[in-house]
Amino acid sequence: MTTKGFTTRLVHADRLLNKPQDGAVHQATTNSVLFEYEDVNDLVDVFQGRKVGHVYSRSSSTSNAALQNMLANIEGGTGALVFSTGMAAISSTLLSLLKAGDHIIMSQYLFGNSASLAETIEDLGIRVCLVDVTDVSEVERAISEETKVVYLETIANPVTQVADLARIGELCQSRGLLYIVDNTMTPSCLFTGSQIKASLLVGSLTKYYGGHGNVLGGFVIDTGIYDWSSYANISDFYKTAPVDQWGVTQVKKKGLRDMGATLSPQSAHMVSVGMETLELRMKKTCENAMVLANFLEQHDKVEKVYYPGLASHPQHDLAQTHFSDFGGILSIDLKPECDCFDFLNALSLIIKATHLGDTRTLALPVAHTIFYENGPEKRAQMGINDNMIRFSIGIENSEDLIYDLTQALEKV
Ligand SMILES: *Cc1c(COP(=O)(O)O)cnc(C)c1O
């Protein structure tokens, strides 16, 4: 199966991996919270990890297992878990694998809510160090005795900085550090986690995977690269599993089971249907983003365009090495004399909304919204200007997007 193309594998994954009953091409949605065992010995074996099965759908169900199989399969990974949201996946993973006294190195260009989560885990006694991940030497310099994890995002939002992914992966491998990569911006059809030696991929199913703005979800995928026998925080209890399952088992027990942010089976079905067109949508999204980036870079009311596909982007070469295309996030600074609120209010097709990875093109003044809480100092450190607008490019016909941008720019 692994030799077939990305979309072929995905649209046939439920049939071939999960084998739903009666020849159905979709896994049935699990409506039961509990699972009956005729022989109590089997129930006990499942509880104690000697047999695979479901006991209570907070921890696992047929629907969610089917989606987890699809995610692990498209990454060639050793296991996956799904959660109610991307933030649930990220917080459950970090809280399951870190302890007070540990040190984590994180990107200084994190998604706003992840940056805020970093402050929460710091309050719990985990030391957090934020570094510029476009440069591996910054990460290397931050490593200390207590460092357990390096955490970053493939393409940052909204300034689109690209992390030095492969060199940081090599560094993590040589130091035995767990390398957690949020690949929300570059889903599996654009980027392969194992190629940059990522240990775990985490992120949002709400964005490109689901893709239609109608369902929340999050994921963790183990790429199979990391040797869990060298991770100090695995509870002895979970070491009865094969060593390549230690990490996922601990996140499943401590994160999913104990913290309880389970994806609903109905949502799992919606995400898996959305994923069937992931590659097709990403192709159109990236194509539109490139067209718009070139258009905006020429426009005399635009000061600056941030898009990794442009030759002017500082990490254009890195992006070209790591991704098969450049993603759907594109930001601009308008010329200082142009009012970004006037521009946004003049848009008629492009939607003013937070969210990204939708089929529809969205726009947002970032400094005044998602990064408002961070304050001017932190925003400056992240490269976010007051006049910056972030677009999440959709799959519309590009001429309609150009038309809308042109008429709105005329009005400022
Ligand atoms: C949106 C997003 C998340 C959080 O996902 P939710 O499903 O909204 O909780 C995490 N990381 C990145 C990079 C995101 O863009």
> Per-residue confidence at 398, pLDDT binned at 50, 70, 90?
very high
Residue 337 belongs to a domain with what CATH number?
3.90.1150.10
Q: Decide which of 275, 301, 326 is a domain's last residue.
A: 275
Does one domain contain both 242 and 285? no
Is residue 245 scored above 90 in pLDDT?
A: yes
- Ligand 1: distance of its center to the CA of 406 in Å? 30
- Percent of the chain at pLDDT > 90 equals 91
Q: Span 170-198, mean pLDDT?
A: 97
**DSSP annotation of 162:** B
Indicate whether 98 belongs to any domain: yes
Indicate whether 243 belongs to any domain: yes
Is residue 151 scored above 80 in pLDDT?
A: yes
Whole-number pLDDT of residue 1? 44
pLDDT in tens, 42-92: 999 998 888 999 999 999 999 999 999 999 999 999 999 999 999 999 999
Does one domain contain both 263 and 158? yes
Does one domain contain both 269 and 389? no
**DSSP annotation of 357:** S
Whole-number pLDDT of residue 192? 96
- Ligand 1: distance of its center to the CA of 92 in Å? 14
Q: Decide which of 275, 297, 332 is a domain's last residue.
A: 275
Does one domain contain both 238 and 301? no
β-pairing, 103-107 vs 200-204, is unpaired
Name residue, tokens 């169900």.
61
The full DSSP string for 309-326 is TSTTSTTHHHHHHH-SS-
CA 369 distance to own-chain centroid: 21
Whole-number pLDDT of residue 227? 97
- Position in ligand 1 atom list of the atom nearest CA 90: 10
pLDDT in tens, 257-314: 999 999 999 999 999 999 999 999 999 999 999 999 999 999 999 999 999 999 999 9
Indicate whether 364 belongs to any domain: yes
| Lowest-pLDDT choice from 18-32, 114-128, 383-397 | 18-32
Whole-number pLDDT of residue 378? 86
Q: Span 339-361, mean pLDDT?
A: 97
| Lowest-pLDDT choice from 43-52, 147-156, 341-350 | 43-52
Count: domains in the chain: 2
- Ligand 1: distance of its center to the CA of 21 in Å? 34
> Per-residue confidence at 161, pLDDT binned at 50, 70, 90?
very high
Does one domain contain both 254 and 380? no
Indicate whether 294 belongs to any domain: yes
For residues 232 and 228, what is the distance between their CA atoms, to the nearest angstrom? 9
Q: Decide which of 214, 241, 275 is a domain's last residue.
A: 275
Does one domain contain both 250 and 270? yes
Residue 21 belongs to a domain with what CATH number?
3.40.640.10
Does one domain contain both 197 and 170? yes
Question: For a substitution probing ligand 1, which of 83, 85, 107, 111 has the most ligand atoms within 8 Å of its CB?
Answer: 111
Does one domain contain both 256 and 293? no
Does one domain contain both 316 and 391? yes
Does one domain contain both 204 and 318? no
Structure tokens of 355?
A: 């969210």
Mean pLDDT of the chain: 96
- Ligand 1: distance of its center to the CA of 153 in Å? 11
Indicate whether 1 belongs to any domain: no
For residues 75 and 187, what is the distance between their CA atoms, to the nearest angstrom? 10
Ligand 1 pocket, Cβ-based, cut-off 6 angstroms = 85-87, 111, 114, 153, 157, 182, 184-185, 203-204, 206-207, 216, 218, 356
Domain of 46 in residue numbering reads as 6-275
Does one domain contain both 176 and 263? yes
Indicate whether 145 belongs to any domain: yes
Whole-number pLDDT of residue 15? 86
**CA dihedral for 370, 375, 379, 384, sign (positive or negative):** positive
Indicate whether 318 belongs to any domain: yes
∠ CA 369-375-378, nearest 5°, is 110
Does one domain contain both 49 and 81? yes
- Percent of the chain at pLDDT > 70 equals 99
Is residue 107 scored above 60 in pLDDT?
A: yes
